[in-house]
């Protein structure tokens, strides 16, 4: 329907984005943003809607970075996530609206937190392919496993686990209410289990731009 992977495949390497390269030749990005504005997905399947909104978020983050490039962090631009609006499925939405008022409450899927990439180094790595409704569950499992098995993202040392602040900011999106519940969920995606009694803390988020 949209979001052929050639754009991401061309500009994303190991989760890092060539913002400078895109800015020097923005036609493909601008065409994607125009297509987003013209699409309506109300009659699509749930998987197609989810894929559309996840791809839309990631493309519009890139668009906002490119519009403001060079910046060292998305936070260098006031209102990066909550001032500029785009036409998305007939609604005027900011990035914050798209994530917190639409995607999170509509889909109730904790894996989205490993697929939405906010242009920062401590975000999960941006995939170099677009999300596709026909294989979306497989893709969401993949990005979740990659993040939770990445020693830079999930930092485990014996009986201590330093987790991304994503787990603190969006705790209500993950199953259960105890640390043991959270560890159990994380372990369902890890190749090496975190001890059930591990001491959990949250490391400070690095908002430096995920540029290459």
With beta carbons less than 8 A apart as the criterion, state whether 65 and 111 touch.
no
Q: Which of 184, 189, 112 is nearest to 146 (CA)?
A: 189
* pLDDT at residue number 190: 98
* pLDDT at residue number 6: 87
The distance from CA 165 to its chain's CA centroid, rounded to whole angstroms, is 14
Strand partners, 156: 161
Q: Phi and psi for 71 in degrees, rounded to 5?
A: -130, 150
31 burial type by CB count under 10 A (0-12 exposed, 13-18 middle, 19+ buried): exposed
* pLDDT at residue number 114: 98
Q: How would DSSP label each residue in 37-100? A: HH---TTS-HHHHHHHHHHHHHHHHHHHHHHH-S-S-GGGSTTTTTT--EEETTEEE-HHHIII
* pLDDT at residue number 40: 95
pLDDT per residue rounded down to tens, the chain (212 residues): 456 568 999 999 999 999 999 999 999 999 999 999 999 999 999 999 999 999 999 999 999 999 999 999 999 999 999 999 999 999 999 999 999 999 999 999 999 999 999 999 999 999 999 999 999 999 999 999 999 999 999 999 999 999 999 999 999 999 999 999 999 999 999 999 999 999 999 999 999 999 99
Q: What pairing do the DSSP bridges indicate for beta strands 86-88 and 91-93?
A: antiparallel
Single pTM value for the model: 0.96
* pLDDT at residue number 2: 55
* pLDDT at residue number 3: 61
């Amino acid at each position: 329907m949209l979001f052929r992977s050639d754009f991401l495949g061309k500009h994303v390497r190991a989760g890092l984005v060539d913002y400078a390269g895109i800015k020097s030749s923005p036609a493909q990005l601008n065409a994607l943003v125009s297509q987003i504005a013209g699409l309506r997905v109300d009659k699509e399947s749930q998987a197609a809607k989810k894929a559309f909104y996840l791809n839309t978020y990631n493309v519009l983050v890139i668009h906002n970075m490119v519009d403001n490039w060079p910046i060292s962090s998305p936070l260098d631009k006031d209102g990066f996530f909550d001032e500029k609006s785009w036409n998305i499925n007939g609604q005027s939405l900011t990035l914050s609206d798209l994530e917190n008022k639409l995607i999170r409450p509509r889909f109730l899927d904790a894996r989205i937190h490993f697929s939405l990439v906010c242009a920062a180094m401590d975000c999960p790595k941006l995939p170099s392919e677009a999300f596709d409704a026909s294989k979306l569950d497989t893709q969401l499992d993949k990005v979740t496993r990659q993040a939770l098995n990445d020693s830079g993202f999930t930092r485990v040392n014996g009986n201590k686990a330093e987790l991304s602040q994503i787990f603190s900011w969006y705790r209500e999106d993950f199953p259960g209410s105890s640390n043991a519940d959270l560890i159990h969920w994380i372990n369902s995606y890890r190749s090496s289990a975190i001890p059930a009694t591990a001491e959990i803390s949250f490391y400070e988020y690095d908002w430096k731009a995920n540029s290459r």
